[in-house]
Structures are given as C-alpha cells and as structure tokens.
Amino acid sequence: MINTNDPIIDQYLARLIGSDGVGIIKKMPPGEIVDEVVAADVGIDINGIRRTLFKLYENRLASYRRERNPETGWLTYHWTLHLDNIENRLDLEFEKLLDNIKERLTFELDNTFYICNNNCARFIFETASETDFICPVCGEELIHQDNEKLTHGLIGRISEMDSVLGS
Ligand SMILES: [Zn+2]
C-alpha cells in the first residue's frame, strides 16, 4: 500500500495519472510487482495498470526490468515505484513556476497595456496602436490599464517563493 497522505503529492499524482491512476497505485503492494499479477490480485484492468505505470515511468517515478520467457518469448515487466522522487519533481515544478512568474513580471514591466470598458481582451501598446486604440472586438475605445497592482502582486509572490527556496 502506497502512502500518499500529503495533499500536494496527491494533487500532483492526480494531475499526472488521473484519479483512476491514483486509485490503482494505492492498491499496489510494496516492492517489485508484476503488472499482470497485480491486475489479477486487485481486479483492475491490465491496460489501466500499464498506462499508469508507463506514465509514472516517463516521469521517473517508476522503473521496470523485462524478463523474456525463453519458451514462449513472452515478456514480463517487473515494476518498482519510486514515489519518493515526487519531492524532486515538485521542486522542479516549483522552480519552473517561479521562472514563469518572473518572465510574466518582466513582460508586465516592459509593456503598456490597454483594455476596453467591456473587458474583451488585453492589448499591448503595439497592438492597440495598430487599431488606433479601438477594441477590435466591440469597437469601443481602448484605454490605458494600470498594471501596478498586478506587478506588485507578482513581485510579492516571487519574493515569497524565493524565500522558500532560500530556506
Ligand atoms: Zn471591447
């Protein structure tokens, strides 16, 4: 039985392999397993188990070794889960997210934004000037949008995340 009581880890896994997949790995016994044996033991469809395991494998959360039956030529997959790698994966995701927010902040600081009263879309100066500051969706005038609150929010989030990484 896999212990995934951490809600962040559960969420991460659910995004990766779906709630069906989470259900499957929670039913798996610890140690090395053979997919067909588990499928029979816990009564889950073998394709569902394989899909889940290969998805985990792609994300370095599972590994396998193959054994060929010399008589039948049939391949057996012996799987091992490496769910302790999730923390590393989460760290990577966190850093990726932080990079994205920093990029977004640069974009916000480097541009001037325009919107119409109907909030159809948000345009950067270059785009707004191409349509003479008329919203291409509704035809209303485009007015300058102050993004100071947004950039402040981004800066706050970045410093929070930076301090988590630094600690
Ligand atoms: Zn509009």
- What pLDDT, in 10s, does the model give residues 67-106? 999 999 999 999 999 988 888 888 888 999 999 999 999 9
- Core vs surface per residue 35-48: b (16+ CB within 10 A) or e: beebbeeeebeeeb
The alpha carbon of 118 and the centre of ligand 1 are apart by a number of angstroms equal to: 5
The alpha carbon of 46 and the centre of ligand 1 are apart by a number of angstroms equal to: 52
The alpha carbon of 153 and the centre of ligand 1 are apart by a number of angstroms equal to: 25
| Beta carbons of 27 and 3 less than 8 angstroms apart | no
The alpha carbon of 111 and the centre of ligand 1 are apart by a number of angstroms equal to: 19
- Predicted confidence at residue 1, as pLDDT, reads 41
End-to-end CA distance of the chain: 33
- Predicted confidence at residue 3, as pLDDT, reads 53
Domain 7-81 sits in CATH at 1.10.10.10
The alpha carbon of 146 and the centre of ligand 1 are apart by a number of angstroms equal to: 17
Ranges of the chain with pLDDT below 50: 1
- Predicted confidence at residue 5, as pLDDT, reads 64
Residues whose Cβ atom is located within 5 A of ion ligand 1:
116, 118, 120, 135, 137-138
The alpha carbon of 117 and the centre of ligand 1 are apart by a number of angstroms equal to: 6
The alpha carbon of 134 and the centre of ligand 1 are apart by a number of angstroms equal to: 8
- Predicted confidence at residue 167, as pLDDT, reads 59
- Predicted confidence at residue 90, as pLDDT, reads 87
- The domain segmentation of the chain, as residue ranges, is 7-81, 93-166
Which amino acid belongs to residue 69? N
Give the Cα separation of 65 and 70 in Å (integer).
16
